[in-house]
Structures are given as structure tokens and as C-alpha cells.
């Protein structure tokens, strides 16, 4: 029987990584952003995820990001670290680095570029989980990696004591529901939605919350979807979900995650630019985004 006590829940922003004009990690900007997010009512913080441009940082830079997040958060909410690698040994190394930096849990994306089968994915996660005492959140994002964890594989992985959750960014609510259905008898495992337009729907199925990119920009609004749902205010939760939708749908105005960073810059939180080759938005694109933020009463 599983004994791990840690259970992810609520709205957890995959935090953007603020950069200086020189393209370096902006520690001061990160500290300000963390307080903006916690003040907005989020239930956790997730650094070096896809939104955090994990793919662009060295080992030492990731160490600095992990330590800054842990230090500034001061235990107010759990800190999750993305420890994504193409190979198992890379993910193990990053997971152990994150553990040494004092994070509360890790999230591990499926390998990208290569195409492991389900047995190989099971072994990959089993090895990573065995390398750490930290809770592990599986992360399924097939549109980015070309690899998808099946519901059967997730059900099998959920029996490993410190594998506690999965973030599903597939956008396929049937798959999310299957993850929930096949693991619902396991009280030590839950499912997190990774598509911001489907948070309410996933909560109805029994998801425990969401790792939501839009929560960088609209933390209170995203938290309302969860908080109102838990309080039994289903209409209020659904209203918040519909209010949020235009921001998530606007992601295709620019190359991800530039819409999140540009939005934060407009709100007066220095996010900086995205790493090259993801360039800034054009003047016209920025104006379209500004209009959406004004209509959502964020600006």
C-alpha cells in the first residue's frame, strides 16, 4: 500500500522564468513574480516547466532557479521543479539536484525527440522515482513531445509509492477522464489538468486541480475556478473558467510562451523576452493581446 502523504492540489502556475535583457536568469524578477502569484491565491509553484523554458537553462542556472524559488516561497505553498530530460539518466540527475535544493516535488515530462514505447516509459519513470525521496508528478504533453502516456501505463505507475499525480496537457478530456477512472481507487494518486480551457471540466470528472500557464497572468481568476468549485459554487467556477478562456485561446497569437511573458510585462511584472529563437510579438500582435487583457479586466 502506498504511504506517500504529499498530494498536489489546486491551481499551480508553471512559472515563467524572467530573463534580463542579456538573456540571463532575473532573480529579482522571479522573486517579485512569486509574491504576485502567491498573493493571487495559487496553491503551489512549478518552476522549469515548459512555460518556464526548461530546455534553455544549464544545470547551474536550474540550481539557481530552484534555490531562488524555495527561498522566496518560504514554505507558503509547495514548490515543484521540472526535471525533464530526453534520457533517464538526465532526469535522474536533475531530480536529485532539485531534491538537494529543497523543492517539495518534481514533475517529469515524457522524453522528447525519441519515441519510447509504453514499457520503456514505465521503466523510465520507475527508475526516476527510485532515485529520489520526493513525490513525482508525471507529465503528459504529446503535442510538444510526440509521446503519450496511455491510461493503462499511468494506472501501473500510480502504484509506485512516490508517484503521486499526473499533469495531462493532451487537451483530450477523454484521456484525462480515463486517467482518473483507472486510478480512482488509489487515494494516494490524483490527476491535474494541463489545458487551461478544461479546468472546470476536469474538476467535474474528479481532477485535483490544474497546472495552468494562464495562472502566471491571472492567478486570482484561475484560483477562483478551483476555490469556487471546492466551495460548491459551480456556477461561479464555470463563470471564472469562461472568463479565462480568451487568454488561453490567445496563446497562438505568438510563439509559446511569449504571450505569457508579454502579458506579464504589460501588467508591470518584468518577465523579459523569451529565449531565442522565440522572438518578441509584433506591434499588431501585442495590440490584440492588450485588447484581450483589457476585456478580461486584467489591464
The pLDDT profile of the chain, 299 residues, written as one tens digit per residue, is 355 579 999 999 999 999 999 999 999 999 999 999 999 999 999 999 999 999 999 999 999 999 999 999 999 999 999 999 999 999 999 999 999 999 999 999 999 999 999 999 999 999 999 999 999 999 999 999 999 999 999 999 999 999 999 999 999 999 999 999 999 999 999 999 999 999 999 999 999 999 999 999 999 999 999 999 999 999 999 999 999 999 999 999 999 999 999 999 999 999 999 999 999 999 999 999 999 999 999 99
Rg over CA atoms, the chain = 18
Give the helix/strand (H/E) hosting 295.
helix 283-295
The CB density around residue 223, as the number of other CB atoms within 10 Å, is: 22
Q: Is 269 marked as binding a ligand?
A: no
pTM given for the model: 0.96
**Domains of the chain, each with CATH number or no CATH:** 10-241 (3.20.20.70)
* Cβ-contact 190, 211 below 8 angstroms: no
CA distances to 62, 112, 138, 150, 166 from 109, rounded to whole Å, are 16, 8, 6, 14, 10
Nearest to 135 by CA among 13, 20, 5: 5
- Residues annotated as catalytic (active site), given as ranges: 139, 167
Strand 79-82 and strand 190-193: pairing? unpaired
CA distances to 120, 150, 172, 218 from 41, rounded to whole Å, are 38, 33, 27, 10
Q: Is 127 marked as binding a ligand?
A: no
Spatial distance between the Cα atoms of 205 and 58, rounded to a whole number of angstroms: 39
Look at residue 5 in the predicted model and tell me its pLDDT: 77
Amino acid at each position: 500500500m502506498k504511504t506517500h502523504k504529499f498530494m498536489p492540489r489546486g491551481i499551480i502556475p508553471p512559472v515563467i522564468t524572467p530573463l534580463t535583457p542579456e538573456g540571463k536568469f532575473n532573480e529579482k524578477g522571479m522573486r517579485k513574480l512569486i509574491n504576485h502569484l502567491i498573493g493571487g491565491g495559487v496553491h503551489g509553484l512549478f518552476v522549469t516547466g515548459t512555460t518556464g523554458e526548461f530546455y534553455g537553462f544549464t544545470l547551474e542556472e536550474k540550481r539557481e532557479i530552484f534555490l531562488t524559488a524555495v527561498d522566496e516561497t518560504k514554505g507558503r505553498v509547495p514548490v515543484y521543479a521540472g526535471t525533464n530530460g530526453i534520457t533517464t539518466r538526465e532526469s535522474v540527475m536533475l531530480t536529485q539536484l532539485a531534491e538537494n535544493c529543497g523543492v517539495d516535488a518534481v514533475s517529469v515530462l515524457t522524453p522528447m525527440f525519441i519515441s519510447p514505447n509504453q514499457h520503456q516509459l514505465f521503466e523510465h519513470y520507475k527508475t526516476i522515482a527510485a532515485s529520489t525521496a520526493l513525490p513525482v508528478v508525471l507529465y503528459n504533453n504529446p503535442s510538444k513531445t510526440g509521446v503519450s502516456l496511455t491510461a493503462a501505463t499511468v494506472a501501473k505507475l500510480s502504484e509506485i509509492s512516490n508517484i503521486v499525480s499526473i499533469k495531462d496537457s493532451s487537451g483530450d478530456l477523454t484521456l484525462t477522464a480515463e486517467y482518473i477512472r483507472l486510478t480512482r481507487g488509489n487515494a494516494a494518486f490524483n490527476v491535474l489538468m494541463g489545458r487551461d480551457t478544461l479546468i472546470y471540466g476536469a474538476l467535474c470528472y474528479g481532477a485535483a486541480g490544474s497546472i495552468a500557464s494562464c495562472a502566471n497572468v491571472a492567478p486570482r481568476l484561475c484560483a477562483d475556478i478551483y476555490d469556487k468549485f471546492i466551495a460548491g459554487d459551480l456556477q461561479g467556477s464555470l463563470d471564472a473558467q469562461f472568463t479565462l478562456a480568451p487568454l488561453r485561446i490567445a496563446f497562438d497569437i505568438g510563439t509559446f510562451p511569449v504571450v505569457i511573458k508579454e502579458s506579464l510585462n504589460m501588467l508591470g511584472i518584468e518577465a523579459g523576452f523569451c529565449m531565442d529563437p522565440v522572438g518578441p510579438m509584433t506591434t499588431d500582435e501585442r495590440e490584440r493581446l492588450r485588447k484581450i487583457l483589457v476585456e478580461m479586466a486584467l489591464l
